[in-house]
């Protein structure tokens, strides 16, 4: 077999070395050095390649050497015969080990003997006194008795204190050390003497209190941050039954922050004076606390905030502002001049497109929708400048109400009660396995959560939750009055010393803020035996703990139905299930529909002729007195307005007085305050009167589903005919019609009802 090129070249080099010797080697070295670059002059890349090549060469040489067979040489030595030497070594090892253990035990014995010799016999205080005098070179009998008595007293005192110290545990010893080891001991440098006399440990002589651990300080800071974020002015409770967050094994109602975390951090630092970084502030946010989004309908229910944020979004698109947060905008532009300079950045010519929430008519119904409008720049600027001061006042009122509620809770008298309440979204009953017709024709249950705040005997603010259940679906003044007749006596029974009630609710005119509720408030002391005042949150900012109570109640009911623990088909079933929940912190009450109807009749008879009070929608604080009320645009709980007895008879703060007066006869608009959902009404539309049932109420208007008249009878049309009407278009409330015929699809009203409708319609036409 022929040689390879490598073998041929290797043989050639060997012949040259043998023939030329050193001359050939020098020639090869010169040839290599001709192309060699010193390491100092070589680039970093070339140097690294050269070193890698060298390492690879060394690796191959090492591997080649390892592959070579190892040379083994067997030496012919005469082996020694095994003798007694191994046994001698073993015995010597055992002997050394035994001697070592012996010396160890001897040393222990020596130490014990020395310890027993060193333990002194404790002398009695008198013997110790005589011994100390003799050590000083004196005779006890020759020492003055007064001096000897003082030395004896010192020894008796220290001996008794030492005995007590030795019997105490850690905390007791710490108390004794704090008592005796004070500044005087340190001043005269007697701390070592005290330690020797009483047996203090050297590291236990420090009398300073243990420093607060960092973990405790962090826990206290976390608690302060969480309490700050859970305030109603910093976050809102979500009302939905599905708005919950599972934290550990407990489900908590979700809260939505009302501002950015950076803004809330600045507010926290300003109020508490505690400096905290934004990252730590964010880490301490509770898990059920969600971030706010000002352009989300689910998190901001205030129409004014929403519309203002949408306009800011338009301005941001034109590079006029950097934020869409309405509160941050008000801080950045505090006066009209800055707003004017801001709007000057808009293009003078052309149109501006912006979105806005508006109520529009869809298939005969008025619904809230986002409407895109396009106007000229001048018109947009004029509209924006007009809205800014009104929005600024709106935000100021909302913040002031939250601030006043906080002040009230902090300074609440022990004989005063705060009742915060609201209507929750009606609960839709359901069964675990229900048929199709049951799903589309299910009943609703009215829930009215109430949270009561009071001060305990030790001065701590406590609260209890009540959820009123009712089969009455009308959310109006009559239902509120029926609920108060159940809640207030319950509160008075638990708190007999109550002398004043502070109500806090949102401000819908159909429920809490109307002439009927003002009349009830003026007679509150005669009706319930205790005076009261009523405070209203700013419109769209009434979210609070009541929403959490309602959401929790509905979520627990759904869980019970899903687990087949119960079946809820109406309000009575809901209350029956709820009253059996012994572990629930929520107490449930039931208000029958008949009670609401009785309240409706009572209010119509007593306050049916009451006049509406001008400026009702601007009232956010109302104080009731016999025959009159006093109102303010915002609440005020300063010392000049309220004391331990309630509202002062005279105050320097601005309150407006209003007399509760009556009319000769109610107008249709005034009587509309008594209209409830599911009531049948006669209304005017397109110069004719029609009869229908009230299905919904919003913003002072009613959604009425009208019937079709066929001679003297009425029926429901095939196509649903509903319309939003104003209270002025309502003629009167009529009785529920009676179904007739085999199919029960025709309805009739009594002759008196039809005559009354005709009279009201004629009176309406004559007024025009």
Q: Regarding predicted confidence, which is higher, 390 or 201?
A: 390
Residue 2: CB partners within 8 Å, gap ≥ 6? none
Name the nearest CA neighbour of 123 among 165, 151, 147, 159: 159
pLDDT of residue 365: 65
Q: How far is CA 511 from the centre of its chain?
A: 28
Mean pLDDT of the region 281-296: 74
Tens digits of per-residue pLDDT, 528-570?
Answer: 999 999 999 888 777 778 888 888 888 888 888 888 888 888 8
pLDDT at 668 over 60: no
Strands lying side by side in the sheet with 235-237: 235-237, 255-257, 289-290
pLDDT at 499 over 60: yes
pLDDT of residue 299: 45
pLDDT of residue 607: 86
**Count of H-run helices and E-run strands, the chain:** 25, 28
pLDDT of residue 329: 83
Tens digits of per-residue pLDDT, 213-236?
Answer: 677 888 889 888 988 888 877 787
Cβ atoms of 162 and 197 within 8 Å: the answer is: yes
pLDDT at 258 over 50: yes
Backbone conformation region of residue 540, classed left if phi is above 0, alpha if psi is from -120 to 50, else beta: left
Three-state DSSP class for residue 131 = helix
Tens digits of per-residue pLDDT, 625-635?
Answer: 888 899 988 89
Assign 337 a pLDDT band (cuts: 50, 70, 90): confident
Assign 300 a pLDDT band (cuts: 50, 70, 90): very low
Three-state DSSP class for residue 187 = helix
Assign 119 a pLDDT band (cuts: 50, 70, 90): low
pLDDT at 181 over 50: yes
pLDDT at 483 over 90: yes
pLDDT of residue 721: 83
Cross-strand partners of 76: none
Handedness of CA 188, 192, 197, 198 (dihedral sign): positive
Assign 85 a pLDDT band (cuts: 50, 70, 90): confident
Cβ atoms of 565 and 580 within 8 Å: the answer is: no
Which two three-digit tokens encode residue 562?
Answer: 């899903």
pLDDT at 768 over 60: no
Which two three-digit tokens encode residue 611?
Answer: 């006049």
| Vertex 501: Cα angle to 495 and 502 (nearest 5) | 135
DSSP 8-state assignment for residue 162: H
pLDDT of residue 548: 83
Which two three-digit tokens encode residue 332?
Answer: 């950045």
Which two three-digit tokens encode residue 299?
Answer: 């998190």
pLDDT at 666 over 60: no
Three-state DSSP class for residue 387 = helix
Handedness of CA 131, 133, 139, 145 (dihedral sign): negative
What is the Cα–Cα distance from 601 to 580, expressed in whole angstroms?
33
Element (H, E) at 709: strand 708-710
Assign 297 a pLDDT band (cuts: 50, 70, 90): very low
Cross-strand partners of 427: 445
CA distances from 555 to 232, 429, 548 (A): 22, 12, 10
Cβ atoms of 450 and 465 within 8 Å: the answer is: yes
Share of the chain above pLDDT 90, in %: 14
Topology, domain 677-767: SH3 type barrels. (2.30.30)
Residues in the chain: 768
DSSP 8-state assignment for residue 662: B
Tens digits of per-residue pLDDT, 305-323?
Answer: 888 888 888 888 888 888 7
Q: What are phi and psi of 666, to 5 degrees?
A: -75, 145
Mean pLDDT of the region 188-198: 83
Mean residue pLDDT of the chain comes to 83
What is the Cα–Cα distance from 376 to 146, expressed in whole angstroms?
107
**Angle between helix 336-343 and 377-410 (nearest 10):** 140
Cβ atoms of 415 and 642 within 8 Å: the answer is: no
pLDDT at 437 over 70: no
Residue 275: CB partners within 8 Å, gap ≥ 6? 269
pLDDT at 726 over 90: no
For the chain, the domains span 1-34, 125-204, 214-290, 303-397, 411-659, 677-767
Matching residue, tokens 């509309």: 672
What is the Cα–Cα distance from 19 to 23, expressed in whole angstroms?
9
What is the Cα–Cα distance from 451 to 545, expressed in whole angstroms?
7
Element (H, E) at 303: helix 303-317
Which two three-digit tokens encode residue 453?
Answer: 């705040």
pLDDT at 277 over 50: yes
Cβ atoms of 701 and 716 within 8 Å: the answer is: no
What is the Cα–Cα distance from 448 to 463, expressed in whole angstroms?
17
Q: What is the distance between the terminal CA atoms of the chain, rounded to a whole angstrom?
A: 129
| Vertex 209: Cα angle to 204 and 215 (nearest 5) | 110
pLDDT of residue 207: 46
What is the Cα–Cα distance from 196 to 188, expressed in whole angstroms?
16
| Vertex 679: Cα angle to 676 and 684 (nearest 5) | 100
Helix/strand/coil (H, E, C) string of 562-623? HCCCCCECCHHHHHHHHHCCCCCCEEEEEECHHHHHHHHHHHHHHHCCECCCCCHHHCCEEE
pLDDT of residue 436: 52
Q: What are phi and psi of 331, to 5 degrees?
A: -70, -35
Cβ atoms of 387 and 377 within 8 Å: the answer is: no
Residue 713: CB partners within 8 Å, gap ≥ 6? 740, 746, 747, 748
Strands lying side by side in the sheet with 708-710: 708-710, 713-715, 746-748, 738-740
What is the Cα–Cα distance from 563 to 577, expressed in whole angstroms?
13
Mean pLDDT of the region 129-140: 84
Which two three-digit tokens encode residue 92?
Answer: 């010597």
pLDDT at 439 over 80: no
Name the nearest CA neighbour of 733 among 749, 711, 719, 722: 749
Tens digits of per-residue pLDDT, 584-593?
Answer: 888 999 999 8
Cβ atoms of 727 and 669 within 8 Å: the answer is: yes
Tens digits of per-residue pLDDT, 396-430?
Answer: 888 888 888 888 988 898 899 999 999 988 888 87
CA dihedral 25, 28, 33, 35 (to 10 degrees): -170
Residue 202: CB partners within 8 Å, gap ≥ 6? 195
pLDDT of residue 133: 86
pLDDT of residue 101: 92
pTM as predicted: 0.56
pLDDT at 665 over 50: no
pLDDT of residue 417: 93
């Amino acid at each position: 077999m022929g040689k390879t090129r490598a073998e041929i070249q290797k043989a050639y080099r060997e012949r040259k070395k043998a023939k030329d010797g050193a001359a050939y080697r020098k020639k090869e070295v010169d040839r290599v050095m001709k192309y060699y670059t010193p390491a100092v002059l070589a680039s970093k890349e070339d140097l690294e390649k050269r070193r890698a090549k060298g390492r690879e060469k060394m690796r191959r040489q090492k591997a080649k050497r390892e592959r070579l067979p190892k040379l083994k040489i067997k030496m012919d030595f005469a082996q020694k015969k095994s003798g007694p030497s191994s046994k001698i070594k073993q015995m010597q090892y055992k002997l050394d080990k035994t001697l070592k253990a012996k010396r160890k035990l001897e040393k222990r014995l020596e130490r014990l003997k020395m310890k027993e010799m060193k333990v002194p016999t404790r002398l009695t205080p008198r013997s110790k006194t005589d011994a100390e005098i003799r050590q000083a070179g004196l005779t006890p009998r020759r020492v003055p008795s007064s001096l000897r008595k003082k030395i004896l007293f010192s020894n008796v005192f220290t001996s008794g204190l030492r005995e007590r110290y030795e019997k105490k545990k850690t905390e007791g010893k710490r108390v004794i050390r704090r008592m005796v080891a004070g500044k005087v001991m340190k001043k005269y440098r007697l701390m070592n003497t005290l330690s020797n006399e009483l047996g203090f440990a050297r590291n236990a002589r420090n009398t300073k209190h243990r420093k607060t651990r960092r973990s405790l300080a962090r826990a206290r800071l976390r608690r302060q941050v969480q309490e700050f974020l859970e305030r109603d002015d910093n976050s809102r409770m979500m009302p939905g039954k599905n708005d919950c967050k599972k934290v550990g094994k407990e489900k908590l109602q979700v809260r939505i922050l009302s501002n950015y975390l950076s803004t809330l951090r600045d507010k926290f630092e300003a109020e508490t004076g505690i400096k905290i970084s934004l990252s730590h502030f964010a880490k301490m946010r509770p898990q059920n606390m969600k971030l706010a989004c000002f352009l989300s309908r689910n998190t901001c229910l205030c129409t004014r905030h929403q519309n203002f944020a949408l306009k800011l979004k338009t301005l941001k698109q034109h590079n006029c502002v950097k934020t869409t947060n309405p509160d941050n905008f008000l801080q950045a532009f505090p006066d009209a001049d800055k707003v004017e300079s801001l709007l000057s950045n808009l293009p003078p010519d052309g149109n501006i497109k912006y979105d806005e929430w508006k109520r529009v008519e869809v298939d005969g119904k008025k619904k809230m929708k986002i409407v895109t409008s396009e106007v000229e720049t001048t018109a947009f600027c004029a509209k924006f400048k007009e809205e800014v001061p009104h929005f600024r006042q709106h935000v100021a009122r909302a913040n002031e109400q939250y601030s006043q509620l906080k002040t009230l809770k902090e300074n609440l008298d022990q004989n005063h009660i705060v009742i915060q309440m609201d209507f929750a979204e009606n609960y839709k009953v359901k069964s675990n396995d229900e048929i199709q017709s049951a799903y589309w024709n299910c009943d609703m249950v009215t829930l009215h959560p109430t949270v009561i705040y009071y001060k305990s005997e030790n001065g701590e603010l406590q609260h209890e939750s009540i959820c009123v259940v009712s089969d009455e679906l009308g959310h109006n003044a009559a239902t509120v009055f029926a609920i108060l007749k159940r809640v207030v006596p319950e509160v008075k029974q638990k708190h007999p010393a109550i002398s004043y009630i502070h109500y806090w609710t949102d401000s819908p005119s159909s429920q809490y803020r109307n002439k009927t509720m003002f009349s009830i408030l003026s007679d509150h002391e005669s009706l319930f035996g205790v005076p009261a005042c009523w405070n209203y949150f700013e419109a769209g900012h009434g979210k609070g703990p009541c929403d959490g109570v309602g959401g929790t109640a509905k979520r627990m009911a759904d869980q019970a139905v899903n687990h087949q623990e119960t079946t809820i088909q109406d309000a009575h079933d809901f209350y029956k299930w709820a009253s059996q929940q012994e572990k629930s912190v929520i107490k449930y009450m039931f208000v029958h529909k008949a009670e609401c109807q009785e309240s409706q009749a009572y209010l119509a008879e007593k306050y049916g002729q009451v006049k509406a009070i001008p400026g009702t929608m601007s009232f956010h604080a109302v104080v009731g007195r016999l025959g009159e009320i006093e109102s303010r645009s915002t609440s005020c709980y300063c010392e000049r307005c309220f004391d331990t007895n309630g509202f002062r008879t005279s105050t320097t703060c601005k309150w407006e007085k209003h007399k509760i007066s009556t009319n000769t006869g109610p107008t249709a608009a005034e009587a509309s305050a008594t209209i409830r959902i599911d009531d049948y009404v006669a209304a005017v539309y397109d110069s004719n009167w029609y009869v229908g049932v009230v299905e919904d109420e919003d913003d002072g208007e009613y959604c009425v589903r009208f019937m079709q008249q066929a001679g003297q009878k009425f029926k429901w049309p095939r196509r649903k005919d509903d319309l939003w009407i104003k209270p002025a278009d309502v003629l009167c409330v009529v009785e529920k019609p009676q179904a007739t015929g085999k199919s029960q699809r025709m309805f009739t009203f009594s002759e008196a009802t039809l005559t009354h409708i005709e009279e009201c319609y004629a009176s309406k036409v004559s007024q025009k």
